[in-house]
Structure 1
Amino acid sequence: MTAPDLTFVLGGARSGKSRHAEQLAHTRASRLASPVTYIATARHTGDAEFSARIAHHRARRPAHWGLVEADLDLASAIAESDDGRTCILVDCLTLWLANVICPAEGEPCDDGAARMDALEAALARARGPIIVVSNEIGMGVVPMGAMTRRYVDELGRLNQRVAALARAVTLMVAGLPMTVKSEHPQ
């Protein structure tokens, strides 16, 4: 089953996936004369380098785009933002999953299964256009350490679930979009 208007953008670090997704959101919003809501999944850590990355993403986005921060409850953020008209851009599943299975100090550990099920359901029920960004991290060697292997495995499974729902899947390589899946509505 595919969601009505779900686009999934994957790629490695610095592959251009966020920029491409932002361009897609801008184009789609302009064509449909609709607003954009950006759902950010990064957790503010106090790390200066990571804060600079977040600032770079903010500076690149148009100021009139809405912003929702959802470091854990992504399904609810999508459901609450989905009015059938607004283009939703989720950036990114990679950070969201890290927040879920590697919580901040003092938070209870969450295996993520229920949250991933809820995310999949929210995407499947979406009425408006959604663009989801994620890293493709499973193309290398098997990582050392059980926790890292678990994270790579869980992200791979999550990416497969979202790709199965999506009408379009794009893999970004060196800033170039490569079409992996394209299903046009009947």
Structure 2
Amino acid sequence: MARKRLPQQQDLLSAVWTLTSTREDVERLLAHIVQVQSEAIALAAAYGAKQSELATLTDLSRQRVGQIVDQVDITDLRPSEISRRSHSISEWPGDTMSALATLAHPADVDDVERRERARRKTAVVYGQEEADKRHNARSAFLASLATEPGRRAEILERLERAERRISGAD
């Protein structure tokens, strides 16, 4: 015979179960992303991309990139397939992904190391000139937040809306 629970206990148990299920789904999605990323790394290396460039883009060590290149069988992979799968992944639920991106940007206001990593990655993909241009634009934007309280309040409000959207409170 099941023990009687208080309504709050039942609600919390239900929330734990729901969150556990969602976490498991996210972990499966992450495993899929890691697999596609590994295939993209190996194929990029096969097409001549330097492992040091791949390490910079992925925040992995060159040794780990080398292991991935050695482990992934690329015989049936095509760049168009990787591109299609990558695009598909980047479109996963758009609202949530944009909200997560919105949450990430204010964090780099004080994170110089994170901004520098992004600059190096941009330089690898688009070249140093574009990286400098984007870095300077981002720095100007962040500087404007400090001098324009109204604009900072607007950004913080967008951040709060994004957090509510992710949490389901919106």
Shared fold per TM-score greater than 0.5: no
Question: TM-score, structure 1 length as denominator?
Answer: 0.23
Q: Which has the higher helix share?
A: 2
